Structure 1
């Protein structure tokens, strides 16, 4: 139970109530977007508020006014940053980054994946969560500033064949067509998904210059199992 006098438990309840009400007031001032969708700056604000809120709730040597001032300053900084972001596109890019086009015409843009610090597996997993079976279905995929993936696919039945991403490669790796052999159907690069016409299988992709190999491009990898 600790060595604190019983009256201190009432003080803890009072401190918690005051800090909680003050926090609600401040969060209401930040607007709905801050609660529903956290940017990098807003995530930092949450961490700072969490640090400022905890101690004054049960440490008697921490004055409530000090903690409330810290919380108000943190939220004020958030308002100031939000104002800068709204008024300056350059500041928005500096603070929140820029969107990245991860997929273009059924092909992974490896340089953009590297810029966004994402792996091919990260993107394929997200695409599978949105019912994409092969990369040829994807016209464009953008990694937005808020961390969401915006996906634009071809209309049903009009997608060209592409690199299969189901089943997950950890469960069932795609077959590799040996380089130098003859293959009369389109092939997809295992690195970026770029298509190669039928004929002699190349040893290196002409789009990404990688040599992971090629696999047959498919329209529905699950329907062909």
Structure 2
């Protein structure tokens, strides 16, 4: 239960080191966007890479070559989605959400709060983190595509 054999520990060390190096190399080749977590697809890839690494490390029935192939597949699919979303608006619309206006010139945009499942308390918390205590101190609050809040001090001429 606490210790099976030295060979199991050595396997984890050797395969873990090789899998780690392989994953880092593939991530460097694929570029910065692979782990950006800007949308649901990015998040899924990040979680899947972690799960795959854990499986390769702890399951003796999964060979290192299979794990590296899984890494390459996930990163390759992510590359295809991001490459396609830059070139085709229809793919972009499927892969990314749009920012949502939650507060505009001191007034709540109730429909956007409800559709994004955001409470007024969460928005007020974001305001307090920026040193603001009321809606009258800001121009707008936007829920960004990565789930963060952007607080705009003033609204540009002509609106957002």
Per the normalisation by structure 1, the TM-score is: 0.62
User: Aligned residue for 1:2?
Assistant: 3
User: Aligned residue for 2:157?
Assistant: none
The alpha-carbon deviation at position 71 of structure 1 amounts to 1.0
Cα deviation code 1:163-199 (max 9, x no counterpart)? xxxxxxxxxxxxxxxxxxxxxxxxxxxxxxxxxxxxx
In the superposition, relative to structure 1, how do residues 79 and 54 fare at CA in structure 2: closer, same or farther (>3 Å)? same
- After TM superposition, the runs of 4+ consecutive aligned structure 1 residues lying more than 4 A away are 33-38
Cα deviation code 1:70-95 (max 9, x no counterpart)? 11100111101111221123322322
User: Aligned residue for 1:117?
Assistant: 117
Moved more, 136-145 or 70-79: 136-145
- Asked if 1:76 corresponds to 2:76, the answer is yes
Q: Which secondary structure state, in structure 2, belongs to the residue aligned with residue 98 of structure 1? A: coil
Structure-1 separation of matches of 2:97 and 2:39: 10
The alpha-carbon deviation at position 60 of structure 1 amounts to 2.4
Cα deviation code 1:96-153 (max 9, x no counterpart)? 2111111111101001111221011111111111111211122122111122222222
Q: Flag structure 2 segments of 5+ consecutive residues without an equivalent.
A: 155-160
User: Aligned residue for 2:41?
Assistant: 41
Q: Which secondary structure state, in structure 1, belongs to the residue aligned with residue 124 of structure 2? A: helix
Structure-1 separation of matches of 2:118 and 2:8: 50
User: Is residue 15–residue 58 contact of structure 1 (8 Å, CA) maintained in 2?
Assistant: no
Q: Which secondary structure state, in structure 1, belongs to the residue aligned with residue 139 of structure 2? A: strand
In the superposition, relative to structure 1, how do residues 36 and 92 fare at CA in structure 2: closer, same or farther (>3 Å)? closer
User: Aligned residue for 1:138?
Assistant: 138
Structure-2 separation of matches of 1:119 and 1:9: 48
Write the mapping of 1:22-61 to structure 2, written as runs, cut at 5 A: 22-35=22-35, 37-61=37-61
Q: Which secondary structure state, in structure 1, belongs to the residue aligned with residue 56 of structure 2? A: helix
Q: Which secondary structure state, in structure 2, belongs to the residue aligned with residue 102 of structure 1? A: strand
Structure-2 separation of matches of 1:117 and 1:88: 29
User: Aligned residue for 1:222?
Assistant: none
Structure-2 separation of matches of 1:123 and 1:97: 19
In the superposition, relative to structure 1, how do residues 60 and 134 fare at CA in structure 2: closer, same or farther (>3 Å)? closer
User: Aligned residue for 1:100?
Assistant: 100
**Count of equivalent residues:** 154
User: Is residue 39–residue 95 contact of structure 2 (8 Å, CA) maintained in 1?
Assistant: no
Higher relative contact order, structure no. (Cα contacts within 8 Å, ≥ 6 residues apart): 2
